[in-house]
C-alpha cells in the first residue's frame, strides 16, 4: 500500500476525469506501461484504474475515470465527491497487460480503454518501434486525450468517432498487419470480441474492464486447504472460492470479483485449479473470485 | 415487570406547542423538497439508516438498514433507492408500504453528530438498472425500495452529543447486554445451550450480501 494525496482532478472529456495522485512518503513504486493500481475510495470501495501518466514520473500517478451510468458507487464517487487534497491509499502497481518488446505495434483502444494504451504508445515510440493507434469512441468530446494524441502523434494515430464515421474495419487491419507486429487492444467487450475474431491469438494482447462472460461446466463443490493454519474449507457449488475463504475467516483481498483485475491472486500448492479468469493465471497461481477446482481438493498458501 | 397503576397523563398538542415554543423560521426554511448537493454528499457517505413505516391502521415499525456508504442510491434529486439485503424476511416495511406508502428515513454517518432526515412515499421495485447499481460482493438484491422524496433536512447533533454515540468509551455499554443466544433462550424458555445459538448466528453473519 502507498499513501498519496489527490493533487488534481481535471475533466478530460465528457464524463471522464483525470486524477493526479502524488506520493506523500517518498517516490512511488515504479511501473511499466499496461499496469494498474487499486484505488481505495473513502466509501470503502476499491477500484482498479490503469496508469496513464509517465512511468518516469516517480512523484505521482495519473489515472482517468469514466462516470459509468450504472455505477455501483466507484466511478460515481470519483466524479461527484472526490476533491483535491484528499489523502488516498493506492496499491502497488500490478501489470496483467505488459508490453512485450517488438519491432512494430498496432494499438487498438475503445473509449476509456485508451488509458493503458497511452503510456504503451509513448514507450513504443521512444524505443524506436513502429507504432500505430486506432482509437475508437462515440464522439470526440467523449474520448479522453484525443486532442493531445492527435497533436503529439499526428501520423501514428487514427481517431474514429462512430457518430460521424464507420467503425474501423478490423479485418482489413488484420490483413495488412505486418508479420512482426504485436497487437494490443483495450476496450469494451464488443471491441475485444471483434479483435479476437480476426487477429492471430499469439500476437493479440487484450485487457478487459469486464469479464468476457464465457460459459463453463456446472459448478461442483470442492475443498480448499489453507496450508498455514491447516484449516479446510468447503466451497459449495453456489459459492465462490473467494467468498468461502472470507466467510471461513480467511479473508482474501479482492477487487473486480469477475476475474479481470488480479487482486485476489492465490498461490496454489497442490490440486488442479479450473481457471475462469480473463487475465491468464501464471503457473501455480489462481484468481479466487471466479476460478474453481478440477480436482476435489486444492491446497493454497494461506 | 408490572403495569403502572395509573397511566402517565397525556398532554395534548396545543399544549405541547405552548410548552416547547415555535421553531425558528430558519429551522423551517432548511426543510428542502429535494436532494441538494449537501444532502447527496451526506447520503453518499452514510452506511446506516433507520427506516420507519406504518400500516393503514397506524401500527408503526422502524427497522435498521446498513451497508456500504452510499448504499442508498440517489436516482435523481427527488428519488432514492434503498437495496433490500438479506434479513429476517419478516418484511414489515414492505407490508406496511403496501397499505400506506408513507416513509421516514434517518441517515447516520459514523463520527458525525448531525443526521439527515428524508420523508416521502415509497414502493418496492425490481428494476434491473436500479438493482445493478446495488451489486455488492457479487450479489444483487432481489428488490429495492424507491423513495419519492418530499422532505429533506439536516437534524442538529444534540441527541448524538448527549448520547455520546460515537465516543469509543460508550461501547462498554454493550458488555452489559446478554448475548443474542442468552436472550433467545430466556425469552423463549428454550432448553438449548445459548452458546450454540450464538455460534449459529455468528456463522449466519458471515454472508451479508
Map out the domains of chain A with their CATH numbers.
Answer: 2-90 (2.40.30.10), 104-208 (3.40.50.80), 222-300 (3.10.20.30)
Please state the rounded mean pLDDT for residues B61-81. Answer: 96
Confidence of residue A265 (pLDDT cuts 50, 70, 90): very high
Name the residue facing A77 among B44, B47, B137 (closest C-beta).
B44
Task: Provide the pLDDT confidence category of residue B90 given band limits of 50, 70 and 90.
Answer: low
Instruction: Check A257 against B138: CB less than 8 A apart.
Output: yes
State the pLDDT confidence band at B3, using cuts at 50, 70 and 90.
low
Over 60: is that where the pLDDT of B23 sits?
yes
Return the CATH number of the domain spanning residue range B22-162. Answer: 2.30.110.10
The pLDDT value recorded for residue A17 is: 98
Name the minimum distance, in Å, from the CA of B76 to any CA of chain A. Answer: 12
B contact test, residue of A70, A82, A231, A290 with most B CBs within 10 A: A70
When scoring B70, B76, B127, B199 by the number of chain A Cβ atoms within 10 A, the one with the most, hence best to mutate, is: B70
Among residues of chain B, what percentage have pLDDT more than 70?
Answer: 97
Distance from CA of B47 to the nearest CA of A (A): 9
Domain ranges in chain B with CATH number 2.30.110.10? 22-162
Any B CB within 8 A of A73 CB: yes
A259/chain B closest Cα distance in angstroms: 12
**Closest C-alpha to A82, from A92, A73, A91, A94:** A73
- In chain B, the residue whose alpha carbon lies closest to the alpha carbon of A248 is B206
pLDDT of residue B88: 65
Confidence band for B144, pLDDT divided at 50, 70 and 90: very high
Amino acid at each position: 500500500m502507498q499513501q498519496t494525496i489527490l493533487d488534481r482532478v481535471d475533466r478530460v472529456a465528457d464524463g471522464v476525469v483525470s486524477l493526479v495522485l502524488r506520493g506523500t512518503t517518498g517516490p512511488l513504486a515504479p511501473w511499466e506501461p499496461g499496469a494498474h493500481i487499486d484505488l481505495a475510495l473513502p466509501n470503502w470501495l476499491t477500484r482498479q484504474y490503469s496508469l496513464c501518466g509517465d512511468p518516469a514520473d516517480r512523484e505521482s500517478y495519473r489515472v482517468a475515470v469514466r462516470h459509468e451510468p450504472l455505477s455501483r458507487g466507484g466511478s460515481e464517487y470519483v466524479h461527484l465527491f472526490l476533491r483535491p487534497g484528499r489523502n488516498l491509499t493506492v496499491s502497488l502497481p500490478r501489470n496483467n497487460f505488459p508490453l512485450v518488446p517488438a519491432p512494430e505495434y498496432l494499438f487498438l483502444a475503445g473509449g476509456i480503454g485508451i488509458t493503458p494504451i497511452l503510456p504503451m504508445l509513448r514507450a513504443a515510440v521512444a524505443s524506436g518501434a513502429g507504432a500505430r493507434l486506432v482509437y475508437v469512441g462515440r464522439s470526440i468530446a467523449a474520448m479522453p486525450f484525443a486532442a493531445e494524441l492527435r497533436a503529439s502523434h499526428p501520423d501514428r494515430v487514427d481517431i474514429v468517432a462512430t457518430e460521424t464515421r464507420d467503425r474501423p474495419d478490423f479485418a482489413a487491419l488484420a490483413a495488412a498487419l505486418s508479420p512482426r507486429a504485436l497487437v494490443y487492444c483495450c476496450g469494451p467487450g464488443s471491441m475485444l470480441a471483434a479483435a479476437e475474431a480476426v487477429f492471430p491469438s499469439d500476437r493479440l494482447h487484450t485487457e478487459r474492464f469486464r469479464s468476457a462472460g464465457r460459459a463453463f461446466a456446472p459448478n461442483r463443490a470442492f475443498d480448499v486447504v489453507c496450508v498455514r493454519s491447516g484449516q479446510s474449507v468447503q466451497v459449495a457449488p453456489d459459492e465462490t472460492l473467494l467468498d468461502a475463504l472470507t466467510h471461513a475467516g480467511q479473508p482474501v483481498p479482492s477487487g473486480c470479483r469477475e476475474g479481470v483485475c488480479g487482486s485476489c491472486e492465490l498461490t496454489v500448492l497442490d490440486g488442479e485449479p479450473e481457471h475462469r479468469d480473463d487475465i491468464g493465471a501464471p503457473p501455480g497461481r489462481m484468481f479466487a473470485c471466479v476460478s474453481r477446482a478440477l480436482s476435489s481438493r486444492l491446497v493454497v498458501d494461506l | 415487570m408490572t403495569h403502572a397503576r395509573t397511566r402517565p397523563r397525556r398532554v395534548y398538542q396545543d399544549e405541547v406547542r405552548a410548552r416547547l415554543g415555535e421553531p425558528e423560521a430558519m429551522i423551517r426554511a432548511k426543510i428542502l423538497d429535494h436532494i441538494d448537493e449537501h444532502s447527496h454528499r451526506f447520503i453518499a457517505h452514510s452506511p446506516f439508516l433507520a427506516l420507519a413505516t406504518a400500516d393503514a391502521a397506524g401500527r408503526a415499525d422502524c427497522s435498521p438498514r446498513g451497508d456500504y456508504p452510499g448504499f442508498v442510491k440517489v436516482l435523481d434529486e427527488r428519488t432514492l433507492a434503498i437495496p433490500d439485503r438479506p434479513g429476517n424476511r419478516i418484511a414489515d416495511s414492505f407490508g406496511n408500504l403496501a397499505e400506506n406508502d408513507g416513509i421516514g428515513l434517518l441517515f447516520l454517518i459514523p463520527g458525525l453528530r448531525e443526521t439527515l432526515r428524508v420523508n416521502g412515499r415509497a414502493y418496492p421495485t425490481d428494476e434491473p438498472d436500479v438493482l445493478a447499481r446495488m451489486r455488492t460482493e457479487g450479489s444483487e438484491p432481489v428488490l429495492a425500495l424507491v423513495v419519492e422524496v418530499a422532505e429533506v433536512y439536516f437534524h442538529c447533533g444534540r441527541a448524538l452529543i448527549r448520547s455520546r454515540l460515537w465516543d469509543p468509551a460508550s461501547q462498554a455499554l454493550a458488555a452489559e447486554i446478554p448475548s443474542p443466544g442468552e436472550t433467545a433462550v430466556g425469552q423463549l424458555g428454550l432448553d438449548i445451550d445459548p452458546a450454540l445459538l450464538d455460534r449459529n448466528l455468528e456463522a449466519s453473519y458471515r454472508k451479508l450480501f
